[in-house]
Amino acid sequence: MAEAVATGDGLTAIVCDDAPGFRALMAALLQEAGLAVVARGETWRDAERLAPGADAIVVDLWMPELELDALARVRSGSPQATLAVVTALDLAEARTRVAGCGVDLVLAKTDPPAQVARAIAAHARGRPRTAAPPAVEPPPA
Amino acid sequence: MSSDDDRLVTLVHDLRTPLTVISGFAELLERGGDTLSAQQRAEYVSRIAAAAGEMREILDAERAERLH
């Protein structure tokens, strides 16, 4: 189930991970790095639905399975966005698995998480802005 | 690689995410200092406690498995 979060100024991001604690951590750190995290999700379906319009798309690989087709659809639906995979898998293995899916960054959950968030924010700042508005969900009442 | 080695690799993998959550929110608490709202502080502490509980469950399950 996707959950709406607060929006902010500037570049936008979505975070999809089926580990709620890591999802919340990454959202907090991306906000700290200057990105407005406009939505969070926990499945590949959430990622496909929420990604259009976001400047940075941050996904886990196992949600709960690796779906390369879904990852490729996320990429093709948001060609200008930064697409970052943050995984607990060995990085070499993860890079091999996602090769050809158009992923910009493959980062490890074991790396210092603030450094991971800053790398994603820096990459997003270096790309052209997305034209469409982000898939912002209304905040809960 | 032996089955014990395989289990150790899996255990380490499963512990990585909650450990990162604990250290990450601890850093946010430390860096945020007085700028954090009471609500943020409470959420971060709650996330740390939840991740520690997750690690405890993983280790308890591993222990139970070994005792069988």
pLDDT tens per residue across span B31-58: 999 999 999 999 999 999 999 999 999 9
Across A3-134, the runs of DSSP E, i.e. the strands, are 3-4, 12-16, 36-41, 56-59, 82-87, 105-108
Which residues of chain A from 61 to 120 reach within 8 Å of chain B, CB to CB?
A: 88, 109-110, 113-114
Q: Which of B18, B48, B53, B44 is nearest to A28 (CA)?
A: B44
Q: Provide the CA A62 distance to its chain's centre, in angstroms.
A: 13
The reply to whether A24 touches chain B by the CB within 8 Å rule is yes
The reply to whether B17 touches chain A by the CB within 8 Å rule is yes
Q: State percent of chain A over pLDDT 90.
A: 75
pLDDT tens per residue across span A46-67: 999 999 999 999 999 999 899 9
The interface predicted TM-score (ipTM) is 0.84
Sheet with A36-41: strands ordered across: A3-4, A36-41, A12-16, A56-59, A82-87, A105-108
Distance CA A63, CA A16 (A): 8
Residue A113 has its nearest CB partner, among B24, B43, B54, at B24
Distance CA A42, CA A2 (A): 7
